[in-house]
Amino acid sequence: MAERGHRDKRFKKAAVITFEGEDLEGVHHPHQDPLVISAGIGDPCHCVKRILIDGGSSVDILFLTTLRKLKLTNEQLSLQAGPVYDVSNIPVRLEGVIVQPVTLGVYPRQATHNKKRNFTPERQQAIEEEVTRLLRARFIRDVKYPLWVANVVMVKKANGSWRMCVDYSNLNQAFPKDSFPLPIIDQLVDATSGHELLSFMDAYSGYNQIKMNPTDEEHTTFRTDMGVYCYTVMPFGLKNAGATFQRLMHKVFKDMLGKIMEVYVDDMLVEGEYKAKNGQLAQYLALAKSLLTKIPSHQVIHIPREQNTRADALSKLATSSASYQSRRRRVEDVMTPNIQGPWEVSTIDGKVTSWMTPIREYLERGQLPDDRIEARRLRIRAAAFAIIDGELYKQAFSGPYLKCLPASEADYALREVHGGVCGEHLGGKALACKILRQGFYWPTMKKDAAELVQNCKSCQLHANMPHQLPVALTALQGARPFAQWGIDILDPLPVASGQRKFIIMAINYFTKWVEAEPLAKITEENTTQFVWKNIICRFGIPTIIIADNCTQFTGKSFTKLCEDLKINLRHIAVAHPQTNSQIEVTNRTILKGLKTRLKEAGGQWVDALPNVLWAYRTTERTPTGETPYNLCFGSEAVIPVDIGRPSTRVETFDADKNEDLLRENLDLLAEVRDTSALRMADYQRHVARFYDKRVKPRPISVRDLVLRSLEAAGKGPQQNKLTTAWEGPYVVTAVLKPGTFRIRNALGKTLPRTWNAQNLRRFYQ
């Protein structure tokens, strides 16, 4: 035996076993004897020259009982080629051979038991509901004596519900990381560019479709008041969950990735070029699939348009126009959709004709229609045409002969010049003139060009915002004093004392009385308290409150107050403040008063606000011809100028007579308010007459397809120079009043806000 010191002084001296030549004395070579060493035993030391150490069996033997304890089965055993003999040289029957990994020593990571957390009753109820749901889905199971125990963490969602997560931070630190690479987001974004249609899909509960290794299930143990459970499927929160799911997606979609779809963990994006224009196509698709099951064999062959001239000409026949065809068509009322009606087989006889056929027949063979009037018209019309090398041409007034095109070729020419390689998406008239300059002609080219431009989706998405007003002015009137209020928030303002930088303001539509209060934060609780304190407690419960769509006026607390007091809460259309124009005009007036009073001392606006409000309340308003103070209380207020330069009513003030005069004014207040209402109605008629001069109606009805403005939808900051100005199409589901609509998207979900016609555009297809 010898001792050797470690280079690092922190380690103690370690004993090293060495073998020398004297250890081999008396040993015959070659030998299979056990290990032979010498040792000193006891103190004083007694030298023992030779000690035999059993080297163990030359074969790694595992008893069958041990195999069962390791949870291994006979199916995992492989057959043994040769026999095995025991010490007495007697052959031993083997069950088989198995190879298992062996780890020597103790794993350096230590299991952890996190301290139990306590939750509020609301969160505890959410935990119980989630655990019950997971048990019903067999995603978790009970576990006893686990080595790893984690706590749950409750996260509140945007809709107010709770999401239960498990804190696997200690477990993630103990286990190695899977290095399977995740896709680079920038490359995925670049790969989707240039595709017209992008379909986003979410692998709902995708992680839970991957089974956990039974030996690793207990590592996912978490503790609740209902018990201790572990996941039988892969949960969220594990360090390698994302890489594991990404590897699975690569195996499943290996032939599609990079071609028609992109995958980032459980988010999938399918790229395409075609989009169904009508939701009813799904019905025809289902019908076609059901019919295909009854057909023994079928084959769908795609051929180019130029090789399918007859069918293409037939499809254009209904829209082609000829001078000899009647412009009248019989209107047939179909009581039920065609897909549900009886099946009929129609036979088409005769050849397909175009607008050029009568002219060619007259010029080539002199053939005329039987009708004398039609024959005379044809002779006059054909004088401007000629046949050159078998093609029909028309004499142009501004240039050479123009080649005549049938309906199918005319459609190709329109689309190529409009949006082809050299197309620039011209307007209808410019498109028709450009085709004329290229030497082509057909009789309805101007109308066809206008229809193509109108139905072009790219032109519609990039169309300019219309500046003409879409509908006539709708005036809002308060039926009685303090019945209808408009409310809004004025911001941002310079930070004043108490960190106040907002003003919440309300105006009564009848009396024009204004209430305002400075705020540091514009929370839902503050707006609710303002309505209760400044409106309801001072002027009674209103009938209508008009507000915009910010969260302070759409939250649960504010809406509950209105519902409990039977107040009709109306929200204005998105990005259309003209709906609540009275409060917008008042905002400008109050803001101008603050600016002119403070000049450069903007931070003192809180102290100046009561003075500006007092000035507004005691000033005659043009629509009513009265001051808001007089319409509210029946008398004019005494203002500082009455004191500085005493007015007649101040100098002749008599307390006893004043009481009688106040009562008389209150008796006459109803007449003053009626007169004010008449003045207001007359004023609104004058405003509407001026407003309606700029109106260009854009009629929109229920079930019409519309586009909505991206800027009005709040996506303006995301735009660049090449971004579309409109998005959609959406379907109009209701007309609330002239110019105000409810719309739903292609998935059938109705948008939560109302939309004004000024931010909508009719979509054609």
Q: Are 385 and 394 in contact (CB under 8 A)?
A: yes
Is the pLDDT reported for residue 394 higher than 70? yes
Q: At what angle do helices 407-419 and 309-317 cross, to 10 degrees?
A: 90
Residues in CB range of 514: below 8 A, 6 or more apart: 505, 506, 507, 508, 586, 590, 613, 616, 617, 628
Give per-residue pLDDT as tens, 28-45: 666 655 555 566 655 555
Task: Find the mean pLDDT for residues 89-101.
Answer: 78
Which pLDDT band holds residue 4 (cuts at 50, 70, 90)?
very low
CB atoms within 10 A of CB 528: 20
pTM of the model: 0.50
DSSP-based three-state secondary structure for 269: strand
Residue 459 has pLDDT above 90, yes or no: no
Relative to beta strand 222-224, strand 150-156 is parallel
Query: Structure tokens of 546?
Result: 């008009």
DSSP letter for each residue of 520-562: S---HHHHHHHIIIIIIHHH---SEEEE-SSHHHHSHHHHHHH
Mean pLDDT of the chain: 79
Identify the band that residue 324 occupies on the pLDDT scale cut at 50, 70 and 90.
very low
What does the alpha-carbon distance between residue 141 and residue 135 come to, in Å, rounded to a whole number? 7
Pairing of β 402-404 and β 440-441: parallel
Lowest mean pLDDT among 67-71, 85-89, 516-520: 85-89
What local confidence, expressed as pLDDT, does residue 222 receive? 93
Task: Grade residue 350 by pLDDT with cuts at 50, 70 and 90.
Answer: very low
Section 94-113 average pLDDT? 67
3-class secondary structure, 708: strand
Strands (E), 206-313: 222-224, 227-231, 261-264, 267-272
Residue 196 to residue 319: CA distance in whole angstroms: 28
Residue 527 above 80 pLDDT?
yes
Distance CA 416, CA 254 (A): 37
Q: Is 387 helix (H, G, I), strand (E, B) or coil?
A: strand
pLDDT of res. 135? 92
Q: What would the pLDDT profile of 181-221 be if each residue is shown by its tens digit? A: 888 877 777 777 766 677 777 776 777 788 898 888 999 99
532, pLDDT greater than 90 = yes
Q: Domains plus CATH for the chain?
A: 23-101 (no CATH), 121-272 (3.10.10.10), 484-692 (3.30.420.10), 705-762 (2.30.30)
Average pLDDT, integer, range 298-309: 59
pLDDT of residue 405: 92
Query: Which has more pLDDT, 469 or 124?
Result: 124
